[in-house]
Amino acid sequence: MLAFIGLVAACQAQQPQQVSIEADGTIKRFTTEVATVRDALDEAKIELGPLDRVSPDLYTELKPGMAIKVVRVTEKIERERSVLSFERQTVVNEALPKGETRLAQLGVNGEEEISTRIVYEDGQEVNRTEISREVTVPPVPEILIVGPQDSLPSVPVAGTMAYIANSNAWLVRSSSGSRRALTTDGNLDGRVFSLSPDGRQLLYTTALTNEIELPLNELWLASTTIVGEKPITLGVQGVLQAEWSPVITNARIIYSTAERTANPPGWRANNDLWLLAPPAQTETKNLTDKSRPKPVEVLPANTQGLYPWWGTTFAWSPDGAKLAYARADQIGIIDMGAIGEATVKPLLDFPPLETFSDWVWVPGLSWSPDGRFIAVTVHGPPVASEPEEESQVFDLWLLSIDGAVSAKIAERVGMWSNPAWGEAGLVYGEALTPLQSINSRYRIMLVDRDGSNRRQLFPFSEEVGVQLPELVWSPDQNDLLFTYNGNLYTVNRQGGLPKQITTDGQTSHPRWALDQPAVMTGTLSITGTQPLTASERITGSAEITATGTITTTPVRTSTPTRTSTPTASSTTSASPTGQTATQIPRLSSTRTPTPTSTRSGGTQTATVTPLASPAQRATPELMTPTLTITPSSGLNR
């Protein structure tokens, strides 16, 4: 009963008490019977704004003589425009003479809008905070093109090299001093950069714009043999990867696609696969939308595996019958088979790497020359108690394509090991700090196919190692091409001092292919003033026109012996309109040509069929005769 009486007493109205409220520059005193600060403000008809601050808190119980203070808090966003200064860029361009400079682009200041939040208390500013900066007018950088400061000794180059510098495609033939730009628009995005196996055509992608409505990029084809011929589009857009088949006699391109997205990384892979037969060089000039080759779907789009949005990489087998594929959690084989009948065979599964970012690690892989094995970097087990997805261990494995053999041949090589298999053995990068390989420098190692006979090709002496192993074997398998500090270098497989090819410090995507000569068949007439003796040899250069006529002036030289192991290759330039080319035969080879000739007085007539295969190229005896060729088939170079 006493408890009930106490409860009733507690529920009765509060006793009258006097309080004061300070708000809006005035102080109001009054007597009230309400219980809390909030109730007192309501009774005094004082409304609060969303940011206003009250002391004591609104739900504090009133006490006699309590002073309540209301602070009016407001804020506003102030925006102002500010000049955004342009930056000055210096670009080394090896096409310019040493020390020469050119202003390629004038710099223009931009403009940015700065948003600032200003907070006021009772009308007085108490805080000012910058909340955003938005570029409204992008600045245009000033670009100064400079020639190389240091000249390099010319390095002989067998075959055709290609690389990207300043978002343009560059080409090297014969020697490092003869490099030239294939493109000048500076819009290569680097997703696709593939040299045809005969070195005559370059496949690449160009960025379109950053507009989300447009495709990611566009696929282009450029001739590497005809100076001045414009690249052509293949009519394919949104390409994530594309590669030439290694089979010279059956030109094919495999590619996969992606959609542009607004969120990082900027694309969503379709993980599809398409096959395209590119147009022959003789067909590119008259190519139209109707005559352009149509791609054939090999694999439909899919979302298999983990992180499918990043994409899958592919690599042709040496015979062009299969593809190796790599994704974030699996390595496998795709047997091309007949059109529409491709089969997928997984070889190895492993935990994907958790990068805690918007990029995905995908293994680097390479085929053995005989097409029986794949060398691949595999995400390995953790070294301690960390989750397997966070392991920083990456090992080098060999996998047989029949699934019977899987062997680890090198431990802790680093995530960017990127093996490259050649006749000389297996070359790969080995991280200097293997458990921090994402940012590590790498040494370049060469081993035999079973992992034995391990030797270091680079660094040679005091170099710090390469940042990202981009490793490419030469066509004859004797030299390795790689990038170091933004420049191209070659090193012999036997070791020794590396040879520098470029000096601009901005090169990437090295490629190295054969240098196929023109295939010519016809009648060759050699006219001299006197009969040639067995000790004489003939040297010279020739001019080729569209009619197939070659004319030279004979120069006779003598030598005690005849050259018996030559090969021929040529450097050619031509106008796409006049079809006029200059061809200078060069020699280096393994086989002696066997012309059939008739000799009468000072005139020789011979029928010669030059060899097309690099393995069979023969360097005829050095000649400078008068030559007339009437081709019985087309002449392409």
* Per-residue pLDDT tens over the stretch 90-103: 777 666 677 778 88
What's residue 598's pLDDT? 40
Of residues 13 and 595, which shows the higher confidence score? 13
Q: For residue 150, name the pLDDT band (cuts at 50, 70, 90).
A: low
Label residue 211 by pLDDT band (50, 70, 90).
Answer: confident
Is residue 185 included in any domain, yes or no? no
Quick check: is 156 in a domain?
Answer: no
Note the Cα 253 to chain centre separation in Å. 17
In a domain, 34, yes or no: yes
Handedness of CA 378, 481, 456, 500 (dihedral sign): negative
Q: Are residues 114 and 28 in the same domain?
A: no
Q: Could you tell me if 526 and 624 lie in one domain? A: yes
Question: Both 539 and 606 in a single domain?
Answer: yes
Residue 216 lies in a domain: no
Q: Are residues 62 and 132 in the same domain?
A: no
For residue 200, name the pLDDT band (cuts at 50, 70, 90).
very high
Which of the listed residues 71, 89, 119 is the one where a domain comes to its end?
A: 71
611 part of a folded domain: yes
> Which range, of 51-65, 208-222, 506-520, 548-562, averages the lowest pLDDT?
548-562
Q: What is the structure's pLDDT at 558?
A: 37
Question: In this structure, is residue 130 part of a structural domain?
Answer: yes
Q: Is pLDDT larger for residue 136 or for residue 590?
A: 136
Residues 51 and 134 in one domain: no
How high is the pLDDT of residue 516? 56
pTM confidence score: 0.63
In contact, 494 and 455? CB cutoff 8 Å: no
Residue 625 reports pLDDT greater than 70: no
Q: What Å distances lie between residue 178 and 160, 173, 314, 394, CA to CA?
A: 11, 6, 32, 40
**pLDDT, tens digit (0-9, with 9 covering 90-100), for 512-551:** 998 754 433 333 343 444 444 333 333 333 333 333 433 3
Q: What is the mean pLDDT of residues 63-88?
A: 92
Q: Is 149 exposed, middle or buried (0-12, 13-18, 19+ CB in 10 A)?
A: exposed
Q: Are residues 564 and 605 in the same domain?
A: yes
Q: Find the CATH number of the domain harbouring 87.
A: 2.20.230.10
| Over residues 257-264, mean pLDDT | 93
Residue 604 confidence (pLDDT) above 70: no
Q: Has residue 612 got a pLDDT over 60? A: no
Q: Is residue 20 part of a domain?
A: yes
pLDDT at 34 exceeding the cut of 80: yes
Ranges 33-37, 100-104, 178-182, 294-298: which has the least confidence: 100-104
Element (H, E) at 411: none
210: left (phi over 0), alpha (psi -120 to 50) or beta: alpha
How far apart CA 606 and CA 597 sit, in angstroms, is: 4
Q: Are 531 and 614 within one domain?
A: yes
Percent of the chain clearing pLDDT 90 (strictly above): 58
The domain boundary, picked from 119, 142, 165, lies at 142
The answer to whether residues 103 and 55 belong to one domain is no
Q: Which residue has the higher pLDDT, 541 or 278?
A: 278
Q: 85 and 50 share a domain?
A: no
Average pLDDT over residues 129-146: 89
Mean pLDDT of the chain: 80
What is the residue range of 99's domain? Answer: 77-142
50 with 102, same domain: the answer is no
- How many residues belong to the chain? 637
Q: Which two tokens stand for residue 200?
A: 């005559």
Tell me, yes or no, whether 117 and 44 share the same domain. no
> Mean pLDDT over residues 442-466, rounded?
92
Q: Examine residue 474 and state whether it is found in any structural domain, yes or no.
A: no
Per-residue confidence at 286, pLDDT binned at 50, 70, 90?
A: low
The answer on pLDDT for 189 being more than 90 is: yes
Q: Let me know whether 92 and 60 are in one domain.
A: no
Domain boundary among 142, 167, 187: 142
Q: Which whole number is the average pLDDT over 337-359? A: 90
Structural domains of the chain, count: 3
Q: Which pLDDT score, from 0 to 100, does residue 149 have? A: 62
Question: CA 34 to CA 243: how far, in whole Å?
Answer: 82
Residue 107 has pLDDT above 60, yes or no: yes
Distance CA 494, CA 505 (A): 26
| Chain segment 404-433, per-residue pLDDT in tens | 999 999 999 999 999 999 999 999 999 999
CATH number of the domain at 43, please: 3.10.20
